[in-house]
């Protein structure tokens, strides 16, 4: 594999297009790296969003279970949302 690259570089030098070849290779490499970085960032934010959504749903279900348990224990009435005695 190394010989093939060396031959291609020597051919580019011989024809005087080494600069164009290097620019094309740099463009391709940078495009691939940027694509990987963008995909990783999208995956990371998607994972964070799904995790936050899952935790919010779990908290809601736990709160609903506590309310249902309270209603079954005390006859069905919830306490007032705030204390107005003072």
pLDDT higher than 70, residue 74 = no
* pLDDT in the model for residue 27: 97
CA angle 7, 16, 34 (to 5 degrees): 75
72 — pLDDT class (breaks 50, 70, 90): low
Contact 53, 60 (CB under 8 A): no
pTM above 0.75, yes or no: no
- Pick the more confident residue, 37 or 65: 37
* pLDDT in the model for residue 53: 95
* pLDDT in the model for residue 63: 84
pLDDT higher than 80, residue 77 = no
Contact 78, 67 (CB under 8 A): yes
């Amino acid at each position: 594999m190394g010989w093939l690259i060396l031959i291609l570089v020597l051919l580019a030098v011989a024809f005087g297009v080494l600069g164009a070849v290097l620019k094309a290779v740099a463009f391709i490499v940078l495009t691939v790296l940027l694509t990987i970085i963008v995909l990783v960032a999208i995956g990371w934010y998607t994972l964070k969003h799904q995790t936050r959504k899952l935790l919010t749903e779990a908290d809601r279900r736990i709160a609903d279970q506590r309310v249902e348990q309270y209603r079954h224990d005390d006859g069905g009435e919830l306490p007032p949302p705030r204390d107005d005695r003072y």
